[in-house]
Chains A and B, each alone.
Chain A
């Protein structure tokens, strides 16, 4: 049976950039644990010779021709931005997390 502990929940919260209080972590640890147990039931029926299904519809090789299509104007592209300098999106300072 899968377990999830408070430390893992805190780590996940950090990866997802969600600030959680101690109470919330405690609460979510219990809830996520239950969700994982529910999902684990699937493994009771999945045998090693059944490959995991990622794409239930038997389709493949759907490609696009390499032809330029509709794009946005810079005004459209920035229209949903909380802040912009007229040509680029402005985001808050990011410290030491270059990917």
Chain B
């Protein structure tokens, strides 16, 4: 495939204003599917199931089977709508979106069309550079996910040239909420970063609501990015009309979202600057090359022949339910971040380290469990992040905030040095119990009994008379050799500063004795 011609990003922005629109699909983590009682593979309890082992007749569109709406999924959708600042429909219906493709066995997807459950909202998004945007939300509607196709044969495994496809319907019917923004203006050079920050904010929201696992790499959160360019009007001229948009699919990481939007701005600008036209189409994002390629031309909504789903009754959320769910909403992520940053007294850099490490919740819970903010930050962004990297997992999966708080308390009390505390953390991560249990079991506590230390120091001094002489001559740095010997004798379980103090003390008094 020929590589698309790209215009320099800054040059593209001088000529055109980027307008973006984002569609985010969120897989809910209810125990069962949207319309069937089959286990939901987007719930962590059912991860990794063998193909076609999480299907009920409804998910296969078997004759005579009828869908029934999952009430919990509806409540979760309303909560999400409220968290997005949306109005909740007084009444709404499901609709059939008809298309023939084997990822859904029914030949239609149950979705919502002209009556979404939530509409007209706004989300505050803060960029890493501190800019704050209000992203306008058009709607959030309920639907079901489709099955997974694996294309077999052909040279690349991509869809073209495939000889046949294998279908797994485990994912068919997983509850989805699709969140659609209105066109977002004013992002300018920050448009790619804004797209990324928006999706990151949606992730924070669904995590704080506890309604999705929200793992992008698992497809719990998927983003389609619409991009169009509007030619800048000359001074005093009326605004130019909006440009034709493309929709880039398959964007499955935060980094890709930013790159895909940037790439599409540069690609469209190069075409438009040469007098070309943009085709309204779906484009596929290729993570490996950082480029997009054309998919199918975008179908008209008419081609889906939407009509009200006759097998399902209208959903009419009572105002009492809506208010109950509103009262239970967690603090909005942006407000929470501002509050925590102020409460903890972190610098911008320190706070960014916590946020970018995805450790905000962990640090907050560790502080709530009694640790100082500084200690909580230090352990999570330091040793635990290092351990998590080495073990290729999340820091949060290694230890609990309560463990970290307990560890910090042991360090604070002088029971552990930082060096010992790191060993204790490894023990906790290995499932050896709580920090105190690991300390007891491994005998890791600092030897705070001066008597034991003094004995070891006297022995070390006696065996290194040359060092003793140097210390007595005022060459204090020579004490390092003795401290090292004592720490070794204590198997590292001593506070080096206290040992140093005692070494100097004993050297002086031993000298007096001699």
**Chain A residues packing against B (C-beta within 8 Å):** 15-17, 54-55, 59-74, 77-78, 80, 85, 87-99
The 10 A-B residue pairs with the shortest CB-CB distance, nearest first, are A69-B37, A63-B71, A54-B308, A66-B72, A88-B166, A89-B167, A64-B68, A91-B102, A87-B51, A60-B316
Which one of B54-62, B132-140, B436-444 contacts A?
Answer: B54-62
- Verify A90–B164 contact, CB threshold 8 A: yes
B393 close to A (CB within 8 Å): no
**Given known A63-B70, A96-B160, contact A91–B167 (CB-CB < 8 A):** yes
> Chain B: residues with CB nearer than 8 A to chain A?
30-32, 36-39, 50-57, 60, 62, 68-74, 91, 93, 98-103, 146, 149-151, 153, 159-160, 162-169, 295-296, 303, 305, 307-308, 310, 312-316
- Determine the residue in chain B with the shortest Cβ distance to A73: B53
Q: How far is the CA of A17 from the CA of B102 in the complex (A)?
A: 12
Q: Are B308 and A71 in contact (CB under 8 A)?
A: no
Residues of A contacting B60 in the complex (Cβ-Cβ under 8 angstroms): 72, 77
By a CB distance below 8 angstroms, the chain A residues around B307 are: 54
The answer on a CB contact under 8 Å between B296 and A98 is yes
Residues of B within 8 A of A85 (CB): 166
The interface residues of chain A, by DSSP majority, are classed as loop
Contacts of B159 in A (CB 8 A): 94-96, 98
Given the complex of chains A and B, what is the CA–CA distance between A88 and B60 in angstroms? Answer: 12
Contact of A88 among B69, B168, B303 (CB under 8 A): B168
Q: How far is the CA of A85 from the CA of B165 in the complex (A)?
A: 11
How far does the Cβ of A83 sit from chain B's closest Cβ, in whole Å? Answer: 8
- The CA-CA distance from A15 to B37 in the complex, in Å, is 31
Kindly identify which residue among A17, A60, A65, A70 contacts B100, using a CB–CB cutoff of 8 Å. Answer: A17
Our pick among B56, B166, B169, B314 for the contact of A60 (Cβ within 8 Å) is B314
CA of A59 to CA of B62, assembled, Å: 25
CB–CB A59/B52 < 8 A: no
Whether A74 lies near B53 (C-beta < 8 A) is yes
A66 touches B30 (CB 8 A): yes
Bound Cα distance A78, B60 (Å): 10
With A63-B69, A93-B165 given, can you name 18 additional A-B contacts, CB distance below 8 Å? A54-B93, A55-B314, A61-B315, A64-B37, A66-B73, A68-B38, A69-B56, A70-B56, A74-B50, A74-B53, A87-B50, A88-B168, A89-B166, A90-B166, A94-B159, A94-B165, A98-B159, A99-B99
A74 to B295 Cα, complex, angstroms = 33
**26 A-B contacts, Cβ less than 8 Å apart?**
A15-B99, A15-B303, A54-B308, A54-B310, A55-B308, A60-B313, A61-B314, A61-B316, A64-B70, A66-B71, A69-B32, A71-B37, A71-B53, A71-B54, A72-B60, A74-B53, A77-B55, A80-B62, A87-B52, A88-B166, A89-B166, A90-B167, A91-B167, A93-B164, A94-B101, A94-B149
